[in-house]
Structure 1
Amino acid sequence: MYVTVTDTTVSPDGGDFAVGAATAPTPTGPWTFADEPVVAPRAGGGGGWLWTIDPSQFTDVDGTPYLYYGSYYGGVSVTELSPDGLRAVGTPTLVAIDNKFEGSYVLRHDGWYYLFASTANCCAGPATGYSVHVGRSRSPRGPFVDREGLTLTASRAGGTPVLTQNGNRWIGVGHNGFLTDLSGQDWIVYHGIDRADPYLDEPFGINERPMLIDRLDWVDGWPVVNAGAGPSDGDRPAPVTTGRVDERFQDVALTGWRRDGDWRVTDGQLRGTGTLTHHTTTGGDVRAEADLRPAGARAAGVTLGDRVDVARGLLVARDGRRTATAPLPAGFVPDHRHHLAVEVRGDRLVAALSPARLGDQLAAVTLRLDRPPTGRLGLVAAGGVAEFDNVSVARLHRPVRRTVPAPRVGGILPQFSDEFDGGLGTPWQWVRPDPGATVADGALRWPVRSADLTGTGNDAGVLLRDAPTGDYVVETKVTLDLGEETVRNYQQAGLVAYVDDDRFARLSQVAIWNTRQVEYGYELPFAGQPVYGGTIVGTPAATTWLRLAHRVDPVTGEHEFRAGSSRDGRTWTWGGVWTFPADTTPPDRPGRVRRGRAGGHRRVRLPAIPPVVTWTDGPRGAASDRPTGPPAPTGGGPVTCREPPGPTR
């Protein structure tokens, strides 16, 4: 068991976190802590101690154990572990950049390694924007890249959203784990915050973060939660925990099984040699599972009309005519218990052997069958005694093939749009005018100022214009070259849905320490003071396209704004949703327009949600809980907002 140790003896100043380990003879203990840390406290180059937290263990197909750990200060790293799992060995590898990711979890799926990591702030009460992003690699050491091929270690760090808030009660959904039910359906477990009940002891104090669970789907090689719909609320189908065959071997008589050989049940474990066949017929697409200890057997496994064995250092699948094999790791120990899963869908059989049933296969094989099996479940041990437990057969889950649709964008609404080719006309209104903002050559240019809207300062200029009613999408193109790697806190530019200085949702590309991110921040009044947090969308470029998609919840009347970003204006990444109460109405002087066709959103070019842009570089407004560091530079060049030409826009 790996834990974060928050108080060590390395430094009297605190913050000297480490990863410790404890061992036990059973999963329920008793636990004994090792005397030395697995990963000791690490000094930070800029002072203090790197955040050595959030350990997550993974075993590779060659049997090598790894440990992932780290957080915003220092990034996420992976290290190889000693065979006993109690020491880090070799040189660690950075797999996710600092100041963006933490809470890592790695699993192997279809030959890819997927690094799940959480981003933004975990604990800002009703403004918490925690979410889960992912990258994948062919190696457990990376490099991990997102759907667009962007690495998670770059200054403009990649990361494809897996789980983000969708406008219902749950916000700040992140720091995930993983499981597979008996039907083969994957599930994600994570914590979230009920935005109506964000603290354990109101107001403020400790954030209340219950554990949640939702379906994890795989579409075109990428994981998404609920087909991309995000966290659920209310009753949903539960994980399958009981199969058509569901044997825990509490019945010493082995009722329902036909024996051929010497089989017996002792202390809830099945031990024997020969074959043992269940009377239930398993037709159609099914998944069989068994906890298996080959021990002294030459071969041991399961049959579904076809046979899968752990035998002589191999995982072997055969259907009478064909055979598929995969080598077991050199350090494979037959006396250890392992988990064997066999799925049959149509004429395709897939079998995987793992140490912990958590997406960390030691071996996997695929076999095309001559015909779908229609036989019965059997257990096989040849050439010696094997041990079995937790044997099941369940109907195989039906995978999701498509994600839910992204917000659809309709035609331009000229009366709410601006190409900036004629100055700032009557529709525009200033809050704290900025004389440095100019319009020329089809662009609004606005110098970055050391000012902000977060907290009680509220000294940033804001430029407003009205928005339409109904569903619509606001889109703009923002050029703000923030460079890479250098610290330029917190220069930014983008769109804001604005009610007043203490209630707004701000979507901008921003410099956060050494990283460049698209942050979707939110401030609201709570218990008499403003609370600010944020969530992360896609990856910015020097020129980034931004969208805010507005809809009114038909039940609650709340205004929902979902954020999207693009590096080229064509491929979009959609992120989280912030909501405004029904009685606040962010577009406070709306015009009336028709809804877009087929449920789509009419498009507003550049601004429509007041205000359009706030660009700041003061030391406030970071989305995540980050360490202190060198002072933020001030100043910066102008930003450019311009719509791209083209007949399709």
Structure 2
Amino acid sequence: MGHLRRAGALAAVIGLVLAGTASAPAAAAPDSRYRNPVSAGFADTFADPVIVRGEDGFWYAYGTTDPLREGEGTFHRVPTARSADLVDWTYVGDAFGADQRPAYAAPGAGFWAPDVRRVGDRWVMYVTVTDTTVSPDGGDFAVGAATAPTPTGPWTFADEPVVAPRPGGGGGWLWTIDPSQFTDVDGRHYLYYGSYYGGISVTELSADGLRAVGTPTLVAVDNKFEGSYVLRRDGWYYLFASTANCCAGPATGYSVHVGRSRSPRGPFVDRDGIPLTASRAGGTPVLAQNGNRWIGTGHNGFLTDLSGQDWIVYHAIDRADPYLDEPFGINERPMLLDRLDWIDGWPTVNAGAGPSDGARPAPVTTGRMDERFDAGLAGWRHTAGDWRVTDGRLTGAGTLTSRTTIGGDVRAEADLRPAAAGTAGLTLGDRVSVRVDAAAGRLVARDGARTASAPLPAGFDAAAGHNLAVEVRGRQLTAELSPARLGDQVATLSLRLDRPVVGRVALTATGGDAGFDNVSVARLHRPVRHAVPEPRAGGLLPAYSDEFTDGLDPAWRWVRPDAAATVSGGALRWPVQGADLTGTGNTAGVLLRDAPTGDYVVETKVTLDLGEETVRNYQQAGLVAYVDDDRFARLAQVAIWNTRQVEYGYELPFAGQPVYGGNIVGTPATTTWLRLAHRVDPATGEHEFRAGSSRDGRNWTWGGVWTFPADTTPRIGLVAHGGAEPALTARFDYVRFHR
């Protein structure tokens, strides 16, 4: 969430086009391609995006309060866009009118980071209200909610905030921002919210989703995470969260990390088993900048296309065009969409390659069957029972069989409403059925004598409408029932089939009239099983390396020498300086040496006892790729308030002044191994430095990339600075170059 931005004055807005007035979407072909940013057709900036699929078959995207275009100057109150194919988008208005706000909101309040979900028989938008009437001093954020019958409104604010402003123990107000809702398999609703000041918490919600109930639980430490999003997969709950600064213009290093848990209340731990609530906080990288045009890749949403492929929606900054208008104003953050892969139980974007910049295969938004019932019952071969189509929605009971035949690996979906005492579902290949049995309170799959079932939540509302998705891969069937296709299943099951599925698709309903819409069958996606290779250290380059066994190698050169730094016993010991490199101070010492030409990996092992929990801002030690005092990339283990992080900071000159931002790369131990992998871009000649860290010298976490212009010659060095109190000394065991 852009918590460092000011919404400013809000102007008149355009009313939304109601979903019911739109014709059926004409989706792109399954083999179509797209380019980021997908919001380019209607907006220059569209921050904090989320996407849902409406009952009309269109996809709807929502963004934070900002102008949409350069030079526009009008702040949109949750701008909304619509698409048939997730690629070409049209702005359809703002969720809220110029004078529309809840009674507790102060005049001029903005609305940040919307999250839109289906709760019961209506849609609920959770949104950050940036200023309330609780305090005249501002900063009293709250989470509000608005309800609507369709994804395009009309939206009506609830009278009270879902989460009211919370006083901070250190003064001011905790950052009660970035809401994200989640419905569990037991039907309980949860809301995740929070940011750097106060951390991320989860609270249970009332049945209507409009009030926080019970006691909140902290699920991610403060001063590291914000922009949470939770989904459920294979029995795990995954907490996605963004870290570092969202809005530092050309130095923005925002990125997405994840932890998982067996409970929606946590504890969430990363791939190395480190909790997201620890002072040395965990977090496995999901999405980070990779050296192309996109930086600041964060604040994500989630969706699944009709083939079953998952996608991540997020915002990013074009490093060549970081501001909407004047420098140091609103950060320009368009909406991007990329494939989300699951490898060994962990999510990663484009198999670990990061944000895309170029033509890519588009999401699948139509399939072999793509039925919206706009042409009545054309295309359906046989009916048994009473079926009718009204306003593009099928209603009836019995069996309705399609003329479409299927075979191979497929995903079938339908939006459905069974009768309160009946069943409704899909039959695949004339024999395999998956039904929602509202009377029995079960989701049931059957293939001859083979059956599987899962309970529906207590108080399941059949009339509210749900999405049933069934996947068949070989002889394995999986099915899930969810309110909005957002990783929020209320029932899941799996069944081993007698044989592969071949034949027709049918809709079935018993016990009274059921409703059906958006029935689709598409070829099932092929999951990516292997990640792209990570940087590896090759052979040692002795001429550039130093083991610190016999004094300091003559190749080293100082910027601002520090006589306190000594070499003995196979280590460089450097007392942490009360100095820094950021901004215009430039008082810290830097120990530098020339780097080899071409591609290489440089590594150091640094020991720095920063303790835990206490505030030691901003003591640090590590590696630096350095051109001069205003252009460098610094990889260090650092104390940031109560946390200990591996920060990959970056400073560059922009618009007449130095600009600094950071990217987070793993979790430090007292002794931490650090690497910078250098690559020369063959097309541009730019120097790309990717950062990695390790707690044991064997298992590495790799993060983002910072770049240097082709006409520079970065040197490699060491730093130990950020604060002299309490006194402590950094120990460097070596600096090794590899190729």
Of 314, 318, 325, the match for 2:453 = 325
Identity across matched positions, percent: 81
Q: Which residue in 2 is equivalent to 1:616?
A: 721
Query: Does 2:560 align with 1:432?
Result: yes
Unaligned 5+ segments in structure 2 are: 1-124
Instruction: Tell me the SS of whatever aligns to 1:276.
Output: strand
Partner amino acid for 2:436? Answer: V
Give the distance between the partners of 2:229 and 2:381, measured in 1 at CA.
Answer: 39
Q: Which residue in 2 is equivalent to 1:16?
A: 140
1:425/1:408 Cα in 2 relative to 1: closer, same or farther (>3 Å)? closer
Of 496, 507, 519, the match for 1:368 = 496
- Confirm or deny: 8 A CA contact 1:297 1:381 kept in the other structure: no
Of 144, 149, 152, the match for 1:25 = 149
Of 245, 248, 273, the match for 1:149 = 273
Give the distance between the partners of 1:253 and 1:572, measured in 2 at CA.
Answer: 57
1:253/1:309 Cα in 2 relative to 1: closer, same or farther (>3 Å)? closer
Instruction: Tell me the SS of whatever aligns to 2:502.
Output: coil
Q: How does 1:431-510 map to 2 (within 5 A)?
A: 431-510=559-638
Unaligned 5+ segments in structure 1 are: 588-608, 619-632
Q: CA deviation at 1:617?
A: 2.1
Partner amino acid for 2:205? Answer: L
Give the distance between the partners of 1:565 and 1:204, measured in 2 at CA.
Answer: 31
Q: Which residue in 2 is equivalent to 1:395?
A: 523
Q: Which residue in 2 is equivalent to 1:604?
A: none
Instruction: Tell me the SS of whatever aligns to 1:344.
Output: strand
Q: CA deviation at 1:26?
A: 2.2
Q: Which residue in 1 is equivalent to 2:367?
A: 243
Q: Which residue in 1 is equivalent to 2:306?
A: 182
- Confirm or deny: 8 A CA contact 2:302 2:311 kept in the other structure: yes
Query: Does 2:322 align with 1:198?
Result: yes
- Confirm or deny: 8 A CA contact 2:380 2:400 kept in the other structure: no
Query: Does 2:678 align with 1:550?
Result: yes
- Confirm or deny: 8 A CA contact 1:135 1:146 kept in the other structure: yes
Q: Which residue in 2 is equivalent to 1:351?
A: 479
Query: Does 2:466 align with 1:307?
Result: no
Q: What is the TM-score of this pair, normalised by structure 1? A: 0.93
- Confirm or deny: 8 A CA contact 1:617 1:634 kept in the other structure: no
Instruction: Tell me the SS of whatever aligns to 2:539.
Output: strand
1:65/1:82 Cα in 2 relative to 1: closer, same or farther (>3 Å)? same
Partner amino acid for 1:545? Answer: W
Partner amino acid for 1:640? Answer: R
Give the distance between the partners of 2:615 and 2:377, measured in 1 at CA.
Answer: 70
Of 728, 732, 735, the match for 1:637 = 728
Partner amino acid for 1:332? Answer: F
Residue deviations 1:408-463, cap 9 Å, x none?
A: 21111111000101111310111100010000100000001110111000000010
Give the distance between the partners of 1:7 and 1:203, measured in 2 at CA.
Answer: 25
- Confirm or deny: 8 A CA contact 1:450 1:635 kept in the other structure: no
Give the distance between the partners of 2:379 and 2:732, measured in 1 at CA.
Answer: 74
Of 133, 147, 153, the match for 2:257 = 133
Give the distance between the partners of 1:170 and 1:302, measured in 2 at CA.
Answer: 42
Q: Which residue in 1 is equivalent to 2:536?
A: 408
Give the distance between the partners of 2:638 and 2:209, measured in 1 at CA.
Answer: 40
Give the distance between the partners of 2:683 and 2:235, measured in 1 at CA.
Answer: 43
Query: Does 2:444 align with 1:336?
Result: no
Q: CA deviation at 1:644?
A: 11
- Confirm or deny: 8 A CA contact 2:418 2:462 kept in the other structure: yes
Give the distance between the partners of 1:285 and 1:297, measured in 2 at CA.
Answer: 32
Q: CA deviation at 1:376?
A: 1.0
Instruction: Tell me the SS of whatever aligns to 2:720.
Output: coil
Instruction: Tell me the SS of whatever aligns to 1:10.
Output: coil
Instruction: Tell me the SS of whatever aligns to 2:360.
Output: coil
Q: CA deviation at 1:25?
A: 2.3
Q: CA deviation at 1:576?
A: 0.3
The structure whose RCO (Cα within 8 Å, separation 6+) is larger is 1
Give the distance between the partners of 2:419 and 2:661, measured in 1 at CA.
Answer: 54
Q: What is the TM-score of this pair, normalised by structure 2? A: 0.82
Give the distance between the partners of 1:101 and 1:293, measured in 2 at CA.
Answer: 38
Give the distance between the partners of 1:426 and 1:378, measured in 2 at CA.
Answer: 78
Instruction: Tell me the SS of whatever aligns to 2:316.
Output: strand
Q: CA deviation at 1:203?
A: 2.1
- Confirm or deny: 8 A CA contact 2:546 2:553 kept in the other structure: no
4+ residue stretches of structure 1 with deviation over 6 A?
A: none
Q: CA deviation at 1:635?
A: 3.9
Instruction: Tell me the SS of whatever aligns to 2:718.
Output: coil
Bigger mean CA offset, 252-261 vs 11-20: 252-261
Give the distance between the partners of 1:34 and 1:436, measured in 2 at CA.
Answer: 62
Partner amino acid for 2:170? Answer: G
Q: Which residue in 2 is equivalent to 1:630?
A: none
Q: CA deviation at 1:297?
A: 5.2
Paired residue total: 610
Of 577, 593, 598, the match for 2:705 = 577
Residue deviations 1:363-405, cap 9 Å, x none?
A: 0000001100101111000121100000000000000000000
- Confirm or deny: 8 A CA contact 1:496 1:504 kept in the other structure: yes
Partner amino acid for 1:307? Answer: S
Partner amino acid for 2:372? Answer: R
